[in-house]
Amino acid sequence: MPALTVIILTLNEEEFIERCVSSVRWADEVLVVDSNSTDKTREIAAALGARVYEQKWLGWSGQRNKGVEIAKNDWVMFLECDEIVTPELAQSIQDVMSRPMDERDGYCLDRRGDFYGLLLPNMSRPSKRKSFVRLFNRQCSAYDMSMKVHEEVIFPGKSIPLEGVLLHWRGYVMDEYITVFNRYATVEAEMLQENGVRSSALKIFLRPILRFLWCYIAMGGARLGTRGLIHAMLQATSEFIRYTKLWEMQKAGRTLHPPTNIYQYTPGEFLHKSVKGEEVQVKG
């Protein structure tokens, strides 16, 4: 049976790191790659037997590939610090690793998140589920360095799903959801821009509607009561912000002064005009 290293990236995650590390203590190595935390993250992880490595932030893909590089074993699995490997998933991982494995393959996990104390179904598209690979062999695979967020593993073999749930449990409230969605929307819009995607009024109008229908109707959000409705609305809002930011990058940008057809003004025009033949003096 090949040995496994579980890699966890951290920055000030003392609230979650104990729970995360404890769920994978059965692994041959638990490696915490920490980006200079100022709380007790490193101490808690070390007390639970994890190897802690300090690394200045290299970006998501760069940080992940650094973890792959310094792991003791070729087979590696990534966790976020707010994720939990359930006993069913842990057993599935150990079962598959007890059998012959093709090092070209990647193993994808069924990640499900919380929403106000409710475990949501996996609402990713089938193609995204297949690309959600977290367990792979570093001799054949690596993270795509071109992706700024939602990083994916590049691997030459098959994508194999594992049984059991990977819990993503953060306990956000609305302020935190809005902050996170806004931050991700900026980076995602930049990635779309770099990939040549164009925004338009039609996309800004339709994509949020389609996202809402996917989450609320197709994926069963309507059966989850008020939480399901709010979640679908948030997902639609995130889509709206993403494509509006893309439009802003391509069409609008920030304008400090009104256009001349609204107000005649030239920046700096009044700064050095004299009053009665003398320069205006600003007293402080």
Whole-model pTM: value is: 0.84
Range of the domain at 135: 4-168
Same domain (yes/no): 185, 226: yes
Give the residue among 28, 25, 167 at the shortest CA–CA distance from 88: 167
Alpha-carbon distance of 88 to 163, in angstroms, equals 7
Same domain (yes/no): 222, 93: no
Same domain (yes/no): 133, 178: no
Same domain (yes/no): 160, 233: no
Alpha-carbon distance of 217 to 210, in angstroms, equals 10
Residue 50 confidence (pLDDT):
98
How many distinct structural domains can be found in the chain?
2
User: Is residue 284 one of the residues assigned to a domain?
Assistant: no
User: Is residue 103 one of the residues assigned to a domain?
Assistant: yes
* Torsion angle (degrees, nearest 10) of CA 185, 189, 192, 193: -170
- Residue 77 CA, chain-centre distance (Å), reads 16
- Environment class of 233 (CB within 10 Å of its CB; exposed 0-12, middle 13-18, buried 19+): middle
Same domain (yes/no): 186, 96: no
Alpha-carbon distance of 31 to 26, in angstroms, equals 13
Same domain (yes/no): 242, 210: yes
Number of Cβ within a 10 Å radius of residue 11 = 15
- Environment class of 16 (CB within 10 Å of its CB; exposed 0-12, middle 13-18, buried 19+): buried
DSSP for 66-110, written as a single string: HHHHH-SSSEEEEEETTEEE-HHHHHHHHHHHTS---TT-EEEEE
Helices 201-213 + 225-247 axis angle, to 10: 160
Instruction: Find all residues with CB under 8 Å of 101, minimum gap 6, and list them.
Output: 2, 75, 137
Which residue among 109, 137, 168 closes a domain?
168
Which residue among 120, 153, 168 closes a domain?
168
Residue 278 confidence (pLDDT):
54
User: Is residue 147 one of the residues assigned to a domain?
Assistant: yes
- Residue 247 CA, chain-centre distance (Å), reads 22
Residue 283 confidence (pLDDT):
55
Alpha-carbon distance of 151 to 190, in angstroms, equals 15
Rounded to the nearest 5 degrees, what angle is found at the Cα of 82, between the Cα atoms of 80 and 83? 70
pLDDT along the chain (284 residues), means of 10: 96 97 98 97 98 94 92 97 97 96 96 92 83 94 77 91 94 92 93 94 98 96 96 97 95 75 73 54 55
Residue 282 confidence (pLDDT):
56
Residue 99 confidence (pLDDT):
94
User: Is residue 277 one of the residues assigned to a domain?
Assistant: no
Residue 52 confidence (pLDDT):
98
Same domain (yes/no): 186, 83: no
Which residue intervals of 132-200 are DSSP H helices? 174-194
Residue 37 confidence (pLDDT):
97
User: Is residue 261 one of the residues assigned to a domain?
Assistant: no
